[in-house]
Amino acid sequence: MQLYSNNIEGKIMSVKCGIIGLPNVGKSTLFNALTNASVAAANFPFCTIEPNIGIVPIPDPRIYQLADIVKPQRVVFPKIEFIDIAGLLKGASKGEGLGNKFLSNIRKTEAIAHVVRCFESDNIIHMTGQVDPVKDIDIINTELALFDLDLCTKTIQQVQKRVQIGDKNARIELLVLEKCLPHLKEGGMLRMLNFSRDEKRAIRYIKFLTIKPIMYIANVSENDCNDNVYLSKLCEIASSERSIVIAVCAVVESYISKIKKKNQFLADLGIEEPGLNRIIRAGYNLLNLQTYFTAGVKELRAWTIPVGTTALQASGKIHTDFKKGFIRVKTISFDDFITYKGEQGAKKAGKIRFEGKEYIVMDGDVLNFLFNI
């Protein structure tokens, strides 16, 4: 039985991150590296038409630490789904360049990874004729905002009809949509507006594009990773949007993903880990997710839950019976589990807690649910 399994096993939570960008910025090369897939990465627009999908394990060193203590027969990692969406063009919101199809694919995701070209190359064409991250981002953001503006306008018309027949939920939705409309008319991103939890819940079904959390991936040349003239401009934009930038060289990352002696290669370059690991973790964090563990001899498994999840809700991720018959949950923090070498050591040290259904699960908790059906 394989101890450290990267296979995609069990029930997969729908955690989707869409990879977007203009044509020829390195999206498919990056996707290939992330998923070890063999997606075409050619030097012309629309190389990707149907979205390519890959499910990858999230690198979490805590799993290996737990496995060293528990010695499980099987390990199941948390996972994230990346979707390589075709390169967008100016006018996509009006349907140009298969734009409507591509933008609709973005609606199916929960977060966005926007790949921006930050390297010069005479061999790879740029659709605008020059490398300009600021202009590239503006093109994409404009198309996303225009798509949302049209969607918002049409939805308001539909919701107004529901208001007229006395739908109470529709009144709340209308108030939120009327808050969104002027912001979109100015080309703003909805993620920059402050929404209450109830407001977010009211319009969640609409699946606006600009409300999704975003990270920018700067695709740099292997020769100027540390001194890139375009990177600082990209960081300024990300800072103004309360977003993040991860700089990688997609070509190098693609090479690293294919070689067997990855650790030695990285050590020779003076790199602690592949840039892909940072992208995967950032996608996870963008969605405000965290991990709890169940640690048994048969299986060590990482479970993905939103931050703020209660013990009762977390139990339902494993099985509905756990939630129906919930009694309490035996809880050990990750640090205590490691420090005291497992459950028995934590018990002797008085570090095991029994929590009720309203307990807010913390990142890294090792849980054992007690239930009765």
Q: Would you state the pLDDT for residue 58? A: 82
pLDDT at 123 over 70: no
DSSP of 37-78, one letter per residue? ------SSTTS--SPEEEEEE---HHHHHHHHHH--SEEE--
Band (pLDDT 50/70/90 cuts) for residue 286 is confident
Q: Would you state the pLDDT for residue 339? A: 98
38/345 Cα distance (integer angstroms): 47
Q: Would you state the pLDDT for residue 124? A: 63
Band (pLDDT 50/70/90 cuts) for residue 341 is very high
308-371 architecture in CATH? Roll (3.10)
Band (pLDDT 50/70/90 cuts) for residue 52 is confident
> Is the CB of residue 89 less than 8 Å from the CB of residue 45?
yes
Band (pLDDT 50/70/90 cuts) for residue 148 is very high
Element (DSSP H or E) covering residue 367: strand 366-371
Dig out the tokens for 66 from the structure.
Answer: 């737990």
Domain with CATH 3.40.50.300 in the chain: 16-286
Q: Would you state the pLDDT for residue 108? A: 87
Q: Would you state the pLDDT for residue 93? A: 53
**188 assigned to a ligand binding site:** no
Residues 6+ apart with CB under 8 A from 303: 78, 291, 292, 293, 294, 314, 317, 318
Band (pLDDT 50/70/90 cuts) for residue 83 is confident
- Average the pLDDT over each of 122-126, 172-176, 177-181, 343-347 and give the range with the smallest value: 122-126
| Helix pair 133-164, 231-240: axis angle to 10 deg | 20
- Give Rg (Cα) of the chain: 23
> What average pLDDT does range 2-9 have in this prediction?
39
Higher pLDDT, 150 or 23: 150
Q: Which residue has the tokens 């918002």?
A: 152
> Is the CB of residue 75 less than 8 Å from the CB of residue 294?
no
Residues 6+ apart with CB under 8 A from 11: none
Phi-psi region of 242 (alpha: psi -120 to 50; beta: other; left: phi over 0): left
- Average the pLDDT over each of 40-54, 104-118, 271-285 and give the range with the smallest value: 40-54
According to DSSP, residue 93 is labeled G
- Mean pLDDT of the chain, nearest integer: 84
164/171 Cα distance (integer angstroms): 9
Q: Would you state the pLDDT for residue 40? A: 41
Domain with CATH 3.10.20.30 in the chain: 308-371
**108 assigned to a ligand binding site:** no
Residue 93 C-alpha from the chain's centroid: 24
What's at 355, amino acid-wise? E
Residues of 22-55 as b/e, b for ≥16 C-beta within 10 angstroms? bbbbbbbbbbbbbbebebebeeebebbeebbebe
Q: Would you state the pLDDT for residue 254? A: 82
- pLDDT, one tens digit per residue, over 209-242 is 999 999 999 998 877 766 788 888 899 999 888 8
Q: Would you state the pLDDT for residue 4? A: 40
Higher pLDDT, 301 or 99: 301
**25 assigned to a ligand binding site:** yes
How do strand 326-332 and strand 299-306 relate by DSSP bridges? unpaired
**29 assigned to a ligand binding site:** yes
56/303 Cα distance (integer angstroms): 14
> What average pLDDT does range 361-372 have in this prediction?
95
**196 assigned to a ligand binding site:** no
**56 assigned to a ligand binding site:** no
User: Which CATH code, of 3.30.70.1400, 3.40.50.300, 3.30.365.10, 3.55.50.30, is assigned to 16-286?
Assistant: 3.40.50.300
